[in-house]
DNA sequence: TAGAACGTTTGAAATATATTAAATATTGAG
DNA sequence: CTCAATATTTAATATATTTCAAACGTTCTA
């Protein structure tokens, strides 16, 4: 591979991984994915280590995270004992699946918190002073507002599947 | 305010701020917003400091971040020189506006990177060997793929405004 | 206009996260 | 099976982030 080709990819790796990192995704995972995305051939851990100038362990850990997300896959290369990887280039699908997974987890947590809140409101209602009635009314209103927001967000997330990609 | 009311809110602040923090938003900003969201009265910096058991400076810095996001507003309380704040309870709108802002910024960066890449491809093409032709074809294909993905994501983001909230 | 009551900034300390090099475990060609 | 080539884990180090206390600046009141 000529030098200007590697330069082309390396520049993209640097620039694009900045965006990835700014979105809260591990920078090294981003670098690895981008490197593989633009490479014409699968790369071994050693090659990735050399290209990104980071430690072998670091590459190993992060490539397996990418594997878990189905963002890269291991490729068998005859006559070599090394693990080679190539990118799954369906980037948008990977992003949306991960997004959905992450948000659904949070929604489930939120459900627990909301139920907890509702139970507490019931028990406050038992100490049935005039003051407590007013206060619980307000709490109830606000908990319902949170519930409504969650419902809307769930619906929004669900609607992604109708989007014509 | 009775103790069980403060307890009710404090528990929600703890639980919900975990979700907020797990989404990459500053935990203290989350705590402040949630505290104000469930409080029936505007709170002063001192009150927030006491409730969250964090330093005054910390509250000050984070409440102003929330103000910038239009997530809280300063309230004038007659006869007090303190700044009081209340939550803007339209949480979903706040989230979506911030999301849109953040992503549009990234899209603009991405545009620059893509253009850069295209220019580089043109200059590689000048060294017009058989090898370079094959390689640039592949680079072009992949850059186009990135472009397509950005277009789809922009469209998706834009479609939010048609969603019936 | 001085002093008190605030809010903000700052620089240092604590904490969390990322990164590495080296030790350990695993694998597959011979 | 064995051993050398790989991959993974780990424990330490470096780096980044969060947090605080104290200094500073501002504003209102008397």
Residue located via tokens 């004992």: A81
A105 and B7 in contact (C-beta within 8 Å)?
A: no
Q: Per this entry, what is the length of chain A?
A: 165
Structure-derived torsion over alpha carbons of residues A133, A136, A138, A143, reported in degrees to the nearest 10: -160
**Residue B58 sits in the same domain as residue B21:** yes
A52 and A31 within one domain = yes
Minimal CA–CA distance to A155: which of B160, B9, B139?
B160
d(CA B116, CA B118): 5
Same domain, A37 and A62: yes
- Are A46 and A21 contained in the same domain? yes
pLDDT, residue A134, reads 84
Q: What mean pLDDT is predicted for residues A47-59?
A: 96
Domain closes at, from B56, B89, B122: B89
Which residues of chain B approach chain A closer than 8 Å at the C-beta?
2, 4-5, 8, 11-12, 15-16, 18-19, 22-24, 37-38, 40, 89, 91-92, 106, 109-110, 113, 116-117, 120-121, 124, 127, 131-132, 135, 138-139, 142, 145-146, 149, 152-153, 156, 159-160, 163, 165
Query: Is the pLDDT reported for residue A163 higher than 90?
Result: no
A62 CB less than 7 Å from any atom of strand D: no
Mean pLDDT over A144-164 rounds to 92
Q: How far apart are CA A56 and CA A83, in angstroms?
A: 13
DSSP B72: E
Q: Confidence band (pLDDT; 50, 70, 90) for A127?
A: confident
Q: CB of residue B60 closer than 7 A to nucleic acid strand D?
A: no
In contact, B53 and B17? CB cutoff 8 Å: no
The answer to whether A76 CB is within 7 Å of strand D is no
A145 and A107 in a common domain: yes
- State yes or no: pLDDT of A89 exceeds 90: yes
Instruction: Give the nucleotide nearest to B27 (CA→C1').
Output: D18
Q: Which residues of A touch B104 (CB under 8 A)?
A: none
Give the pLDDT of residue B21: 95
* Rounded Cα gap, residues B13 and B32, in angstroms: 8
CB burial of residue B80 (10 Å; 0-12, 13-18, 19+): exposed
Domain finish residue from A40, A74, A89: A89
Clarify whether residues B9 and B81 are in a common domain.
yes
CB B13 within 8 A of CB B54: no
Q: Best of A10, A25, A38 to disrupt the B interface by mutation (most B CBs within 10 Å)?
A: A38
Here the CATH number for the domain that contains residue B25 is: 1.10.10.10
The reply to whether B100 and B153 lie within a common domain is yes
Residue B79 pLDDT: 86
What token pair was written down for B33? 């917003």
- Tens digit of each residue's pLDDT, chain B (165 residues): 457 888 999 999 999 999 999 999 999 999 999 999 999 999 999 999 999 999 999 999 999 999 999 999 999 888 888 999 999 999 999 999 999 999 999 999 999 999 999 999 998 888 777 777 888 999 999 999 999 999 999 999 998 888 777
Pick the more confident residue, B81 or A46.
Answer: A46
Same domain, A8 and A84: yes
Same domain, B85 and B35: yes
Whether the pLDDT of residue A77 is over 60: the answer is yes
Cα angle B100, B114, A48 (rounded to 5 degrees) comes to 100
A134 and A107 in one domain? yes
Asked if residue A61 keeps its beta carbon closer than 7 A to nucleic acid strand D, the reply is yes
| Boundary residue ending a domain (A48, A70, A89) | A89
Residue position matching structure tokens 């419902």: A151
Query: At which residue do the structure tokens 């591979």 appear?
Result: A1
Q: Give the pLDDT score at B157.
A: 93
Same domain, A84 and A15: yes
Amino acid A2: pLDDT: 56
Q: How many distinct structural domains can be found in chain B?
A: 2
Of the candidates A124, A149, A28, the residue with the CA atom closest to the CA atom of residue B96: A149
User: Does A1 score more than 60 pLDDT?
Assistant: no
Residue keyed to tokens 């507002």: A145
Residue A23 confidence (pLDDT) above 70: yes
| b (16+ CB within 10 A) / e for A1-27 | eeeebeebbbebbebbbebbeeeebee
Task: List bases, strand D, within 7 Å of protein CB.
Answer: 5-10, 18-23, 27-29
Residue A84: helix, strand or coil by DSSP? strand
pLDDT for residue A161 is more than 90: no
Percent of chain A clearing pLDDT 70 (strictly above): 99
* Nucleotide with the nearest C1' to A82 CA: D6
Asked whether residue B25 falls in the same domain as residue B57, the answer is yes
Q: Are B7 and A137 in contact (CB under 8 A)?
A: no
CA–CA separation, B107 and B111 (whole Å): 6
Model pLDDT for residues B79-115, shown as the tens digit of each residue: 888 999 999 999 999 999 999 999 999 999 999 999 9
* Residue B3, pLDDT score: 76
Instruction: Tell me the pLDDT tens digit for each residue of A105-121.
Output: 999 999 999 999 999 99
Tell me the shortest Cα–Cα distance from A80 to chain B, in angstroms: 25
| Residue A17 pLDDT greater than 70, yes or no | yes
Contact at CB, A152 and B165, closer than 8 angstroms: yes
Which range of residues forms the domain containing residue A138? Answer: 92-162
């Amino acid at each position: 591979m000529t030098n200007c080709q590697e330069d082309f990819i390396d520049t993209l790796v640097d620039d694009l991984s900045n965006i990835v990192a700014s979105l809260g995704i591990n920078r090294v995972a981003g670098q690895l994915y981008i490197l593989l995305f633009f490479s014409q051939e699968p790369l071994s851990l050693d090659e990735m280590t050399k290209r990104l100038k980071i430690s072998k362990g670091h590459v190993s850990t992060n490539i397996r995270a990418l594997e878990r997300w189905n963002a890269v896959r291991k490729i068998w290369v005859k006559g070599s004992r090394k693990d080679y990887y190539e990118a799954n280039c369906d980037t948008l699908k990977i992003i949306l699946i991960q997004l959905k997974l992450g948000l659904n987890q949070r929604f489930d947590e939120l459900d627990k918190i909301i139920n907890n809140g509702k139970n507490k409101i019931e028990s406050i209602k038992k100490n049935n002073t005039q003051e407590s009635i007013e206060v619980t009314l307000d709490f109830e209103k606000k908990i319902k507002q949170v519930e409504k927001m969650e419902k809307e967000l769930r619906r929004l997330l669900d609607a992604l599947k109708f989007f014509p990609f």
